[in-house]
Amino acid sequence: MDANSTSSGTQAAPFVILPGLICDARMFAGQIEAFGATVIDGFYGAADRIGAMADYALARMPDRCTLLGHSMGARVALEIWARAPARVDRLILADTGAHPVSDKERAGRMALRDLGRSEGSAALVDRWLSPMVGPHRRDDGVFMRAMRTMAIDGGCAAYERQIEALLHRPDAAAVLPTITCPTLFLVGADDAWSPPAQHAAMARDVPGAQLRIIADAGHMAPAEAPEQFNRCISEWLDNT
């Protein structure tokens, strides 16, 4: 099937991806190939709040699209839904959460910030990245080097802006019951940061939402298991 059409032959809305923390289009090569997706690149520019990230994305999105948000990007996608629901034809929320900030989260993010300030972006990424990846890909040197390079390119300044946005994020849980477009939740089975049970709870709060769990993948599921990730999306698109 053509990535720009549905099983009924109708033209599908353009496919747009919102990346997560210090990630860019390199994370979504499989989705770009499979769906002709456009990634909102640039690490959200100077934005240091979720609302400013939503503004950054809205200025670069088509009038209406299938919107995939990954991790922090899903928080941005929920803010876009809250502000401009007419711009969202279908919504895919992957490896994410809707919970408020905890003291443990704040401390962890600040510790990484301080490491980056004292030792540089490579040290920050080397501590941050491995727990984000599931055990099946953690020893894949080629894969890990590519993810590491991407995150280091994002840099400490982008990391600091983006964690400021996350630590001051709006209440995403309140948005979930308002969603009226077709919605799919995707999560790696081995995602320790945003586990499957968390996604099941969110899916229950969105009318008609579906949940798919990606085997042998962690928090970076779109890149860790792109074929399975894409297959779940294709099957869902064909039936919505």
Among the listed ranges 100-104, 156-160, 182-186, 224-228, which one has the minimum average pLDDT value? Answer: 100-104
CATH number of the structural domain 1-240 = 3.40.50.1820
Residue 56: count other Cβ atoms within 10 Å of its Cβ. 19
Q: Are 229 and 30 in contact (CB under 8 A)?
A: yes
Residue 74 pLDDT grade (very low, low, confident, very high; cuts 50, 70, 90): very high
In eight-state DSSP terms, residue 39 is: E
Average of pLDDT values for 96-100?
A: 94
Q: What is the mean pLDDT of the chain?
A: 95
Residue 12 pLDDT grade (very low, low, confident, very high; cuts 50, 70, 90): confident
In the chain, where are the structural domains located?
Answer: 1-240
Average of pLDDT values for 24-42?
A: 97
- Ramachandran region, residue 138 (left: φ > 0; alpha: ψ -120 to 50; beta: rest): alpha
- Report the pLDDT value the prediction gives residue 131, as an integer from 0 to 100: 96
Average of pLDDT values for 179-192?
A: 98
Residue 47 corresponds to which amino acid? Answer: A
**Which single residue is written with the structure tokens 């401009």?**
84
Q: State the Cα–Cα distance between residues 100 and 166, nearest whole angstrom.
A: 9
Q: State the Cα–Cα distance between residues 220 and 223, nearest whole angstrom.
A: 6
Does 203 score more than 80 pLDDT? yes
How confident is the model over 47-58, as pLDDT tens digits? 999 999 999 999
How confident is the model over 122-155, as pLDDT tens digits? 999 999 999 999 999 999 999 999 999 999 999 9
Residue 198: count other Cβ atoms within 10 Å of its Cβ. 18
pTM for the model stands at 0.94
